[in-house]
Amino acid sequence: MSKLSKQDKIDIYNNWKNYNISANQAAKEYGVNRANLFYLITLVERHGIEILDTGYTNYSVEFKEKAIRRVLFNHEVADQVPLELGLSSRGMIYNWIRKYKEDGYNVINHKKGRPTHEGQRQTDSRASKANKGPQTEELKTYCRERICKKIERLSLTKIERLSLTKNQRPTAQEIVSVVTQLRQELYVTVSFVLDTINSNPDLPHLSRSNYYYTLGKDDKDLKNEKIMKRIKKIFEEHKHRYGYRRITAQLRREGIIVNHKRVKRLMVKMHLYAISIRRRFKYSGYKGTIGKIKPNLIKRHFAAIIPDRHWYSDITEFHLNGEKLYLSPVMDGCSQGIVAYTLSRHPVLKQVMDMLDQAYQKHPALNGLIFHTDQGWQYQHAAFQAWLENHGVSQSMSRKGNSLDDGLMEGFFGILKREMFYGFEKTFKTMDELEQAIKEYIHYYNHDRIKTVLKNHTPIEYRNMVLNKAVQ
């Protein structure tokens, strides 16, 4: 507030009072702190404009001690006490409290100017007294309350942040950080803080030797600061879908060589945990033998050397607000990418036939292709089997009751629902929003999501890489 003249203060108050000029606007115009400006307005509103005529006042020791005790021991709001007392600045009470602690919990009127030798000796004596901590039982009780409250808050924050059981405790590094902060804030000794903590059975204990050991130990993760920032950014970019192994692979793609164990430790330290939700339900289109059952040509040898030699398909359903949505994709056995897909509100034959047409438009060279599915009624239908035969495609089917025979598609459905559906149902208000989210995820899966089985490439990258090598 020292930047403002008396006339400035009067103008600010009048503009606020008569023209509804907010404290924010005035703070920007005059280049001062908004909180201090709001204090000025409240002060004048309470005591009148005459309060601005009050010059420098040398407050007595008794006056300061009474104000300090109202904040520390009566637990009054620190910003309200200076308003009631008519202090020109709210910062005065904070300065008094700071000096009160520095001087060994004694109120002393400090004289301006350079101290004499005698004054310096008195200052040194006061500093020595401050290092001994609070002297009265009232002050000791106040400090103990502050220490216990801070440590309790640390413990509660730790538990809530990690969603752990009540038996979990903060780490030694976290406790040491708070203890050091309390020493500086209360001007007490380490022994005073540690004795207070260790005497309370509900608080995490810390020995004096462990405190100094942890305090003196260099933080080995300071050199990992850049890596930690990049890990967190990757984690957020992929919407918490990447675990430590996949993040390690992404870092190596960017030229950052780091061990997966270090990435795991840093992620735990930053409390970054990938989505992990179990599957809930599975759609089955099997209705018994209604057509010609085909042999199992794949026999769980899912991988293919080049693209468009093994294709896999299945249908899965999504339940949302009492409605159902069906997804029918085609997956390539070489790149494990989604070649084509259709979405429908009902599991009808047209959905599967449209999927075939989409896949054929993208990849018309189908000679020698094996198309593998389960024994769903759509795949036993004469129209479906005729389409495959007319395009030179060999049909393969899983054995009845052997879902592992179609394990590649089952795995994709599990990844899809775990990473964008399970646990996120409330974010989709309508089926249209869910359809759009599925489309976006499949694009993400093909173009952005790396797979370790593909040598840390995305499906599209791996497909192009294999085709380029085949041409060479």
pLDDT digits (tens, 9 = 90+) for 188-203: 888 888 998 899 888 8
DSSP β-ladder status, 323-332 and 310-313: antiparallel
- What is the per-residue pLDDT for 155? 63
Predicted pLDDT at 73: 78
Instruction: Give the pLDDT of residue 406.
Output: 85
pLDDT of the residue at 120: 52
Q: And the tokens for 289? A: 């033998």
- What pLDDT score does 159 carry? 44
190-198 and 137-162 helices, crossing angle to 10°: 60
Q: Kind and range of the H or E element at 185?
A: helix 172-186
**In 77-211, beta strands by DSSP E:** none
Q: 177-186, 269-278, 371-380: which range is least confident on average?
A: 269-278
On the 0-12 / 13-18 / 19+ scale of CB atoms within 10 A, 233 is: exposed
pLDDT score for 158: 45
pLDDT tens-digit series, residues 306-364 = 999 999 999 999 999 899 999 999 999 999 999 999 999 999 999 999 999 999 999 99
User: What's phi and psi for 310, nearest 5 deg?
Assistant: -130, 120
Condensed to tens digits (0 to 9), the pLDDT of residues 1-10 reads 556 887 888 8
Please provide the average confidence, as pLDDT, over all residues in the chain: 83
Nearest to 203, CA basis, from 149, 265, 266, 138: 149
Residue range 426-445, pLDDT digits in tens:
899 999 999 999 999 999 99
Vertex 64: Cα angle to 59 and 70 (nearest 5):
145
The two three-digit tokens of residue 217, written as one number: 């130990």
Rounded Cα gap, residues 331 and 343, in angstroms: 15
Residue 164, SS3 per DSSP: coil
Say what the pLDDT of residue 165 is.
45
- Residue 124, pLDDT > 60, answer no
Say if residue 130's pLDDT is above 50: no
Say whether pTM exceeds 0.75.
no
Instruction: Provide the Cα torsion 449, 453, 457, 458; round to 10°.
Output: -40
Residues contacting 23, CB < 8 A, separation 6+: 16, 34, 37, 38, 41
At CB < 8 A and 24+ separation, what contacts does 416-420 make? 416/316, 416/327, 416/441, 416/442, 416/445, 417/279, 417/280, 417/316, 417/318, 418/275, 418/276, 418/277, 418/279, 419/239, 419/241, 419/275
**What phi, psi does 242 have (nearest 5°)?**
-90, 130
CA distance 461 to 249: 15
Q: Which DSSP letter does residue 425 get?
A: G
- pLDDT value at position 32? 80
Is 60 exceeded by the pLDDT of residue 58? yes
Dist. CA 244–CA 262, nearest whole Å:
9
pLDDT > 70 fraction of the chain, expressed in percent and rounded? 85
More confident residue, 280 or 273: 273
Spatial CA neighbour of 129 closest among 153, 104, 152: 104
pLDDT tens digits, one per residue of 19-40: 777 777 877 778 788 888 888 8
Helices (H) then strands (E): counts for the chain: 20, 6
- Ranges of beta strands (E only) in 216-315 are 310-313
Cβ atoms within 10 Å of 79's Cβ, excluding its own: 15
On whether the CB atoms of residues 450 and 457 are closer than 8 A, the answer is: yes
Structure tokens, 255: 């030229």
The beta strand positions in 199-241, using DSSP E, are none
| Whole-number Å distance between alpha carbons of 188 and 308 | 74
pLDDT for the residue numbered 369? 93
Nearest to 188 by CA among 140, 146, 131: 131
How far, in Å, are 9, 46, 86 from residue 55 at the CA level? 14, 18, 12
pLDDT band at residue 127 under the 50/70/90 scheme: very low
CA-to-CA distance for 172 and 411, rounded, in angstroms? 41
pLDDT band at 164 (very low <50, low <70, confident <90, very high): very low
pLDDT of residue 47: 85
Count of residues in the chain? 472
Whether the pLDDT of residue 305 is over 80: the answer is yes
Residue 161 has pLDDT above 50, yes or no: no
Q: What angle do CA 129, 131, 133 make, to 5 degrees?
A: 85
Q: What crossing angle do the helices spanning 91-102 and 117-131 adopt, rounded to 10°? A: 80
